[in-house]
Amino acid sequence: MTRLALASACLAVAIEGLGAAASADGLEPGALCIGCDFAQIDLAGRDLAGVDLSAARLTRAVLARANLAGALFAGADLRGADLSHAVLAEATLVATQMADALLVGANLASADLSAATLDGADLSDASLVGARLLGASLRGARLSGAAFSGADLTGATLQGAELGTATLDGARLCHTIMPDGRVENAGC
């Protein structure tokens, strides 16, 4: 067996073991738990800064008030999760499924939510200052009081979203579908 084949086999076994052996007790800042299943788990208030939960299943998980700064959630399933008042500054949430998630008062400053699905999510009073939402879907999302200053909403869909008192001043709107269905290109 070549070194490359041996290394590939070892990596496959290690990755397979990550999802099966993972427990919430072992989660700490910077932990690696790719593809783990934490559906409906309660991690409220935990310090999980920099944790890698890419492709993890966190449906209806409770992460309210958790410190998830710099965390990786690429491709994760957070549908219906409670992330109210969580710190997700500089987190990577690319292609994350977050439909119907609660993100009330969450700090998503400089987070990358490109291609994320946030349909029906509640982002009331959330900070998305400097966030990247390229191609993100926010259909029917509640955005009242959310701050989008400096955010990039290129190609994002806000159709049917409630903007209320959301602040879009300084946000990049290019090929962005607005709540009324019109396409905004002022920032192209």
Residues 65 and 48 sit within 8 Å (Cβ to Cβ): no
Residue-level pLDDT at 13: 30
Give me the mean pLDDT over the 60-85 stretch.
98
What is the rounded distance in angstroms from the CA atom of residue 154 to the CA atom of residue 183? Answer: 11
Higher-confidence residue of 19 and 76: namely: 76
Domains by residue range for the chain, with CATH: 1-188 (2.160.20.80)
From 55, 60, 121, select the one nearest 94 (Cα to Cα).
55
Q: Is the pLDDT of residue 20 over 50?
A: no
Give me the mean pLDDT over the 131-143 stretch.
98
What is the rounded distance in angstroms from the CA atom of residue 149 to the CA atom of residue 109? Answer: 10
Residue-level pLDDT at 8: 32
Q: Is the pLDDT of residue 14 over 70?
A: no
Q: Is the pLDDT of residue 144 over 60?
A: yes
Q: Is the pLDDT of residue 90 over 80?
A: yes
Please report which confidence band the pLDDT of residue 35 belongs to, taking 50, 70 and 90 as the band edges: very high
Q: Is 17 helix (H, G, I), strand (E, B) or coil?
A: helix
Predicted TM-score (pTM) of the model is 0.86
Q: Is the pLDDT of residue 6 over 50?
A: no
What is the rounded distance in angstroms from the CA atom of residue 84 to the CA atom of residue 47? Answer: 15
Read off the amino acid at residue 163: L
Q: How far apart are the first and last CA of the chain?
A: 54
Give me the mean pLDDT over the 75-100 stretch.
98
pLDDT in tens, 103-112: 999 999 999 9
Q: Containing H/E element for 176?
A: strand 176-177
Residue-level pLDDT at 21: 35
Q: Is the pLDDT of residue 73 over 90?
A: yes
Residue-level pLDDT at 22: 55
Helical residues (DSSP H) of 22-160, grouped into ranges: none
**Cα dist. 94→46, 77, 132, 155, 170 in Å?**
22, 11, 9, 14, 22
pLDDT in tens, 120-135: 999 999 999 999 999 9
